[in-house]
Structure 1
């Protein structure tokens, strides 16, 4: 029954996309109709995904797809969890867009593809054979590409869409090759057949690498992350929230499905790749986020950092599982899924908030904002909570999942392999550095954008956004707080998936008194979000009360503290560039190419001093640009084949025939 509901709901999403396309040419504003339909359908799928049905998987085969094979769909505990993530984020984005979409200049470019994008993500989580999985994957990629290209009048957006399409094609090709290796010569593409087959170690290792490239490119895992900081700012804000909060989690689901389910029992070294790439991704993402002035690009790089955190936990789960350590494996696996859920919540809020700032102030450059807490107080309050959640500050949910990952890292000395004993502490140190930089990054972003004085006329004239947008953000913030205060329910919800895919589960958290959680045992470590939240609230209230009681009521006059500058001008405030200057100068020559250009006039010259900053991605310039030039050179060279004579074509065919005969002779 739940699987049937989900499939019919996916069909309804496709129908909503068709309806939006049909209404596009009739001068009818279908914004509220289409987004309202998407909101209701996503809630229906979410309810079906969380519907209690036991641990048994539900399957169905439909007469479509490959002839005599059909399309297979499956709903189990893992796919249900990711369906809940996708459709919770989809419902929030749809509700937000009912108000935000009214400001869209060209809604017909977005409305037909938005429900199709949702349908594609749902189909990926349901697919139970390689063909259906890849078709749904491409469906998701192409519809999201169309949404990235919605504002194609901007040349930068066209460039972002092109790079996204190239990387999406590369990821799909990697997954296609991986499934081809899993299917083998028999060509059994159903997941049940792949799951039952025996895979040689070399083949399993190659499929693992292809899964990291294919799923990692869609998730934003370094070094195949270059599309993400370009595509997310180009897309409309509610689409950016959906791509960051939901689509990247579908990519994580694809990796888990292939590596934890289809590949069979892991070797210990399988965990090293995801862990090291995850650590590098986390550090790279947050370092680039720290120096960004574009609010949406900052959030896009922050998504890369959080994807790295998730892959660190998945790599730990693989290492523990390979060594038969069921409880630590369950802890790491549960932490990865919990962080995926948490990131979906607070990153959706932050992208919604960026859209609200863009709507209310007309700016997303934080250097030109400031003082928005006075003009957009509700948005500022919600953004503050989301910034605390993504910075892993209690009592919000981001703290719980990252704390659980650190608890799993502390269990790594019991791993028998020396390679893991050396890699895991280094990964843990990188994760700690990333967590600290994340807090600094969002102190910078929030402080410069919302505090202080307005740095531009647009910021000074900002206004609060519509109630639809504010309600969507507030609801997700309440979920962030609820998941941080009462995390035991989420942990117990994930436990069936951990039992199925890593062979163990964490202790039942609902049995621990006072709503505490204990990842291993209460004697080792525990956390109580509810008591901590009560303590924080009581301490803040007590401090405020003492200040009001003990402070003198006498009026005193004195010179105002000028903070080091006597001129009260917005231009003398601390800027985003100056805030990130220590990080930029310390790591600018290592991680990214940062060049500062200072034009300081000589004494007596009345022209203003000018400061310029140029930041380049070392990976993009050092790897992708040479590859791009190489592909262009080969294409130009092969283009000469169009102008050969008949003798030249015959010679080319003869050379190809000789080469193929040599390959056959050597192969035999």
Structure 2
């Protein structure tokens, strides 16, 4: 399987070269996306085969690349096979979507060379089995995605987004470099096999955990390392945004899981508290940020922070349970994390594809200038609604299953021996419940303001449905969201080898349970049957429609909707995105965003309109990043004087530097 996956990576790299040569040619787009689709489908099939029938010993391929004495090690085990399946499934749908959406791309020569390279980089990160190969692939993935963020570089906002993303990516790579250096130790065992099973001091394990959280968390979008994500994801083309939000963040989660659960070995119980706290804060703040947005793609980007937070909450639970020897509870929490990784990849890609369809049809991302699209884009609106229901964790779609499993893991906290965890886990469970409720409100707002009501602009009035290939990609993801929601037992059983590798336990086999029911712990505690829920909803809705149309009235009648006392059919009489979010903003935003409302009410007789101005700030940016940026700018201005020194002063500085280095070497113990 490893050889097949590496061959697919080679095809993707060759496709990147083709994209560079044929980026401006009309045949370049179908050729690049077609080759990418074939390569990722084959790689997905290989990964699924490795998950369904994992070999007794994971095969490892060593290539004569990288460090001369080490080579490049690539290996697929149960954990990497799952993440490879997630990466290539999302990549295949992105390539299919790009075949249609790419027709609207203004600068295809800036996308086609880097998209296959981006896909190859993500595959290599997941397969890498040594520190050098992992870091090289990680940086390759980051640089390729940075180039895609700057595809529309003439927009000043996109240039700023690319700059912030590059700085944060470099910072995260530095943290991972230090992490793997500490794991390798003074002997320089850079292969992952040499890092496993090594006993480490508590202080060293703590430092590795913190650095892994910083390095992987900065790429995943954890608070407070999230500042690049809402800038970079909306700046990229929509199918690239889907890959960055739905897939690349999962590669970052893989990096954290590989380091903390596999390479680091046993961790203290309080490490779970650290991960739980960061995950819970990310979940709530992410969805609150999303609720305040009027840019549709930025809203989706912020909601990624929420879902990554949910994954890290489940991973924190798995760490806490594993450190206390509770293998079954740890397997439950870890399976919930992996299942949410897959589910978020599906419905977030679907939502970004829907946002791309809206953008290509209207050239608008501001939801305040949309509305009424359900009549002009019925297929897109229906599929976007599926994504909204799934991300809101409503049954019978897939988002509900993984969050329900996470709550089942939270309910195991009374069995933990530490009082700190007993208190903290239910508190974080409350944050998860709050995040789920706010997510429902967020996507009711997103769908309602974008697709319902009357058009608020001429662009929305003239919108039309997108091409069939884009609709096919969205429809495929919608079907998978439904299947993963009504048949989760198959996925849970497929994740069992990965859970056993990471936490030393697995959930009970779900295929043996009758009626496709899933039972996380025992039937006496809880169970869920997505298929029965789906059939009940379908039957109830069908009976309601039949009863209304057959018995409530003899004919379908059309009448004007209640206009709330405003007979003028103007879009100005509708709810706006700002008015929908106002109650939540007044409850949370003064603390979370330092929101300030200013009302300008002209005196009686003045014909000027009244105005409500809302100012919001990101406290993380204002309190953490802005002072650092100002300090770096101040230091750079002072250091700029060095370029105007004389030769004599330069030689003096070199001499003093050499003396200082020699003193350090002499005093080094």
After TM superposition, is the score higher than 0.5? yes
1:532-583, Cα deviation, whole Å (9 max, x unpaired): 1111111111222222233244999999632243332111101100000011
Unaligned runs of 5+ in 2: none
Alpha-carbon separation, structure 2, partners of 1:32 and 1:555 = 46
Query: Is it true that 1:13 corresponds to 2:42 in the alignment?
Result: no
The match for 2:74 is: 73
TM-score (norm 1): 0.97
Cα deviation, residue 643, structure 1: 3.2
1:457-513, Cα deviation, whole Å (9 max, x unpaired): 111111000000000000110000000001000000001111111010000000111
Cα deviation, residue 596, structure 1: 2.7
The match for 1:365 is: 366
The match for 1:248 is: 249
Alpha-carbon separation, structure 1, partners of 2:4 and 2:178 = 32
Alpha-carbon separation, structure 2, partners of 1:253 and 1:454 = 42
Native 8 Å contact 1:13 1:41 kept in 2: yes
Alpha-carbon separation, structure 1, partners of 2:156 and 2:553 = 60
Q: Which moved more, 1:144-153 or 1:611-620?
A: 611-620
Q: Look up the SS of the partner of 1:589 in the other structure.
A: helix
The match for 1:234 is: 235
The match for 1:319 is: 320
Q: Look up the SS of the partner of 1:616 in the other structure.
A: coil
Query: Is it true that 1:568 corresponds to 2:566 in the alignment?
Result: no
Residues 461 and 185 of structure 1: is their aligned pair in 2 closer, same or farther, counting only changes over 3 Å?
Answer: same
Q: Look up the SS of the partner of 2:616 in the other structure.
A: strand
Q: How does 1:57-72 map to 2 (within 5 A)?
A: 57-72=58-73
Q: Look up the SS of the partner of 1:598 in the other structure.
A: strand
Residues 666 and 423 of structure 1: is their aligned pair in 2 closer, same or farther, counting only changes over 3 Å?
Answer: farther
Q: Look up the SS of the partner of 1:61 in the other structure.
A: strand
Alpha-carbon separation, structure 2, partners of 1:347 and 1:365 = 19
Query: Is it true that 1:142 corresponds to 2:140 in the alignment?
Result: no
Alpha-carbon separation, structure 1, partners of 2:662 and 2:20 = 52
Q: Look up the SS of the partner of 2:162 in the other structure.
A: helix
Native 8 Å contact 1:211 1:259 kept in 2: yes
Residues 452 and 655 of structure 1: is their aligned pair in 2 closer, same or farther, counting only changes over 3 Å?
Answer: same
Alpha-carbon separation, structure 1, partners of 2:578 and 2:561 = 27
**When the two structures are aligned, how many residues end up with a matched partner?**
666
The match for 1:32 is: 30
Alpha-carbon separation, structure 2, partners of 1:511 and 1:346 = 28
Cα deviation, residue 601, structure 1: 2.5
Q: How does 1:260-275 map to 2 (within 5 A)?
A: 260-275=261-276
Alpha-carbon separation, structure 2, partners of 1:196 and 1:399 = 37
1:423-480, Cα deviation, whole Å (9 max, x unpaired): 1111111111000000000000101111111111111111000000000000110000
Q: Which moved more, 1:633-642 or 1:427-436?
A: 633-642
Q: Look up the SS of the partner of 2:112 in the other structure.
A: coil
Query: Is it true that 1:600 corresponds to 2:601 in the alignment?
Result: yes
Residues 554 and 98 of structure 1: is their aligned pair in 2 closer, same or farther, counting only changes over 3 Å?
Answer: closer
Q: How does 1:204-243 map to 2 (within 5 A)?
A: 204-243=205-244
Q: Which moved more, 1:433-442 or 1:596-605?
A: 596-605
Query: Is it true that 1:41 corresponds to 2:39 in the alignment?
Result: yes
The match for 1:334 is: 335
Q: Look up the SS of the partner of 1:50 in the other structure.
A: helix
The match for 2:492 is: 491
The match for 1:292 is: 293
Q: How does 1:410-449 map to 2 (within 5 A)?
A: 410-449=411-450
The match for 1:577 is: 578
Alpha-carbon separation, structure 2, partners of 1:284 and 1:473 = 28
Residues 645 and 301 of structure 1: is their aligned pair in 2 closer, same or farther, counting only changes over 3 Å?
Answer: same
Native 8 Å contact 1:595 1:613 kept in 2: yes
Native 8 Å contact 2:179 2:211 kept in 1: yes
Residues 560 and 627 of structure 1: is their aligned pair in 2 closer, same or farther, counting only changes over 3 Å?
Answer: closer
Q: Which moved more, 1:179-188 or 1:545-554?
A: 545-554
Query: Is it true that 1:459 corresponds to 2:457 in the alignment?
Result: no
Unaligned runs of 5+ in 1: none
Q: Look up the SS of the partner of 2:3 in the other structure.
A: helix
Query: Is it true that 1:199 corresponds to 2:197 in the alignment?
Result: no
Q: Look up the SS of the partner of 1:565 in the other structure.
A: coil
Cα deviation, residue 660, structure 1: 4.5
TM-score (norm 2): 0.97
Q: Which moved more, 1:634-643 or 1:499-508?
A: 634-643
Cα deviation, residue 614, structure 1: 2.6
Q: Look up the SS of the partner of 1:611 in the other structure.
A: strand
Alpha-carbon separation, structure 2, partners of 1:60 and 1:579 = 55
1:386-444, Cα deviation, whole Å (9 max, x unpaired): 10000000000000000000000000111111111121111111111000000000000
Cα deviation, residue 649, structure 1: 4.2
Native 8 Å contact 1:55 1:77 kept in 2: no
1:3-34, Cα deviation, whole Å (9 max, x unpaired): 11110110000000001111236x44411111
Alpha-carbon separation, structure 2, partners of 1:559 and 1:329 = 56
Native 8 Å contact 1:55 1:496 kept in 2: no
The match for 1:187 is: 188
Q: Which moved more, 1:147-156 or 1:188-197?
A: 188-197
Alpha-carbon separation, structure 2, partners of 1:111 and 1:457 = 32
Alpha-carbon separation, structure 2, partners of 1:359 and 1:432 = 35
Alpha-carbon separation, structure 1, partners of 2:517 and 2:178 = 45
The match for 2:157 is: 156
Alpha-carbon separation, structure 2, partners of 1:650 and 1:175 = 36
Cα deviation, residue 609, structure 1: 2.8
Q: Which moved more, 1:96-105 or 1:631-640?
A: 631-640
Alpha-carbon RMSD: 1.7
Cα deviation, residue 55, structure 1: 4.5
Query: Is it true that 1:117 corresponds to 2:115 in the alignment?
Result: no
Native 8 Å contact 2:593 2:618 kept in 1: yes
Q: Which moved more, 1:633-642 or 1:345-354?
A: 633-642
Q: Look up the SS of the partner of 2:61 in the other structure.
A: strand
Cα deviation, residue 58, structure 1: 1.4
1:606-626, Cα deviation, whole Å (9 max, x unpaired): 233333333221110111000
1:350-384, Cα deviation, whole Å (9 max, x unpaired): 00000000111221111111111100000010011
